[in-house]
């Protein structure tokens, strides 16, 4: 995970130079707002699990051949838009042990390899994805065993101690039973390498949780759930996010209705996923910034949500009385879509409609 600040690419600098200054100033304010992180109590659980994982590496010389241990795999589970990827990058960037460093000979090492799980996945494709991520030159087609040998050697040579596998559900969602077992064994062997401690950080949606119940993995992982923002605590988190983004990250004033209903509408519009809720708040705040408004109101939310979701005015969760009956992810559909769905009942099932 390279976090070094690279100089601006000439192509980007060119486009930047062509922007009117007033536009650029606002765009920078918006980018600054979008880059901020909001910590929740779930971050404490994640930090605890990553602490345990870090110390398990620190003592690995002593515990080398110890029994399976729960600290070898940390999985962050939650629906799309929950905030898993953002949280993991934030936490990794806050941890000195996980950041790139220079050794005594000025060689740069980055102890975290970050990949997207290939889809469809096989143990060979997974190993190759890691090998490509490490930029190991490969001159011939490798078979599965050769690829894993190359990978194991490269992990040690490159001093990789963590592999962050995002969208980890791809590891299994299209695999058959034999492949799933092989992938579980591959993950197990990866975190049990006798001569080099490697830990896995997995982020994903279902069926990742089900995969982790497999015997090979069950004693080797801990899970942090990124739950839906549905109960009182969840709604309080959404409220906190709205206030923080508007007043602290964007330095504007908030004139949002102070009732529970507004926050419930916001949570509902986000399908109760925290990350999606922050995106809606940011979209509304962005409207205010572009309009030179100093105060963010529910009007900005109505307008932003219309753009964000593609909904019609009669289906806008921030304005209509029947908002609870609207399914946010379907907001963009129009009559022609519904006709198509009617004519294609089997495809309809694939989309979960
Ligand atoms: N704690 C947070 N503070 C501020 N913004 C956040 C936070 N969590 C998520 N977000 C924002 O929410 C959006 C969605 O989050 P993210 O992509 O991390 O979700 P995800 O769970 O990884 O979803 P997916 O499964 O689709 O990959 C991002 O734009 C991110 O900036
Ligand atoms: Mg993600």
- Look at residue 342 in the predicted model and tell me its pLDDT: 76
- Look at residue 120 in the predicted model and tell me its pLDDT: 85
- Look at residue 298 in the predicted model and tell me its pLDDT: 95
- Residue 204 shares a structural domain with residue 61: yes
- Look at residue 1 in the predicted model and tell me its pLDDT: 52
CATH number for position 118 = 3.40.50.300
- Residue 138 shares a structural domain with residue 183: yes
- Residue 143 shares a structural domain with residue 159: yes
Which of 205, 227, 275, 278 gets mutated to test ligand 1 (max ligand atoms within 8 A of its CB)? 275
> CB of 38 closer than 6 A to ligand 1?
yes
> Does the pTM of the predicted model rise above 0.85?
yes
Can you tell me the distance from the alpha carbon of 89 to that of 80, in angstroms, rounded to the nearest whole number?
16
Q: Which atom of ligand 1 is nearest to the CA of 204?
A: 25
> CB of 164 closer than 6 A to ligand 1?
no
Q: Which atom of ligand 1 is nearest to the CA of 36?
A: 4
Q: Which atom of ligand 1 is nearest to the CA of 40?
A: 1
Interval between CA 157 and ligand 1 midpoint (Å):
33
Number of structural domains found in the chain:
2
Q: Which residues pair with 225 in a beta bridge?
A: 77
Mean pLDDT per block of 10 residues along the chain (353 residues) reads 69 91 93 97 97 90 68 94 97 97 94 93 93 93 94 96 95 83 91 91 91 86 94 96 97 92 95 95 97 96 89 90 85 69 75 70
Are 152 and 131 within 8 A, CB to CB? Answer: no
- 9 belongs to a structural domain: no
- Tell me which ligand sits closest to the C-alpha of residue 279: 1
- Residue 105 shares a structural domain with residue 131: yes
- Residue 208 shares a structural domain with residue 244: no
Where in the sequence is the domain holding 305, given as residue range(s)?
230-335
- Residue 106 shares a structural domain with residue 208: yes
Say how many Å lie between the first and final Cα of the chain, rounded.
Answer: 38
- Look at residue 3 in the predicted model and tell me its pLDDT: 46
Are 53 and 70 within 8 A, CB to CB? Answer: no
- Look at residue 146 in the predicted model and tell me its pLDDT: 95
Interval between CA 24 and ligand 2 midpoint (Å):
28
Residue 19: strand, helix, or coil: coil
- 208 belongs to a structural domain: yes
């Amino acid at each position: 995970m390279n976090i070094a600040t690279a100089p601006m690419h000439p192509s980007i600098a060119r486009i930047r130079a062509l922007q009117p200054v007033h536009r650029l100033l606002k765009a920078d304010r918006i980018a600054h707002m979008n880059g901020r992180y909001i910590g929740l109590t779930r971050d404490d659980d994640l930090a605890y699990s990553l602490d345990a994982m870090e110390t398990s590496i620190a003592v690995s010389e002593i515990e080398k051949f110890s029994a399976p241990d729960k600290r070898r795999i940390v999985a962050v589970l939650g629906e799309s838009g929950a905030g898993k990827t953002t949280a993991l990058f934030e936490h990794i960037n806050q941890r000195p042990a996980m950041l790139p460093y220079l050794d005594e000979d000025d060689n740069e090492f980055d102890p975290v390899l970050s990949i997207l799980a290939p889809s469809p996945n096989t143990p060979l494709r997974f190993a190759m994805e890691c090998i490509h991520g490490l930029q190991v030159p490969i001159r011939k087609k490798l078979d599965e065993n050769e690829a894993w040998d190359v990978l194991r050697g490269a992990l040690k040579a490159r001093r990789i101690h963590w592999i962050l596998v995002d969208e980890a559900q791809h590891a299994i969602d299209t695999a058959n039973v034999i492949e799933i077992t092989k992938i579980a064994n591959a993950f197990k062997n990866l975190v049990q390498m006798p001569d080099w401690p490697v830990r896995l950080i997995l982020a994903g949606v279902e069926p990742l949780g089900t995969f982790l119940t497999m015997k090979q993995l069950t004693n080797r992982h801990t899970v942090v759930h990124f739950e839906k923002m549905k109960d009182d605590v969840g709604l309080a988190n959404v409220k906190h996010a709205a206030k923080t983004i508007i007043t602290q990250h964007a330095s504007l004033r908030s004139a949002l209705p102070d009732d529970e209903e507004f926050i419930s509408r916001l949570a509902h519009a986000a399908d109760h996923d925290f990350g999606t809720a922050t995106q809606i708040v940011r979209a509304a705040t962005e409207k205010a910034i572009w309009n030179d408004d100093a105060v963010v109101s529910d009007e900005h939310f109505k307008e932003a949500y219309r753009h964000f979701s593609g909904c019609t005015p009669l289906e806008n969760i921030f304005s209509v009385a029947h908002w609870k009956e609207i399914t946010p992810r379907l907001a963009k559909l129009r009559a022609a879509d519904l006709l198509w769905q009617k004519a294609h009942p089997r495809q309809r099932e694939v989309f979960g409609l």
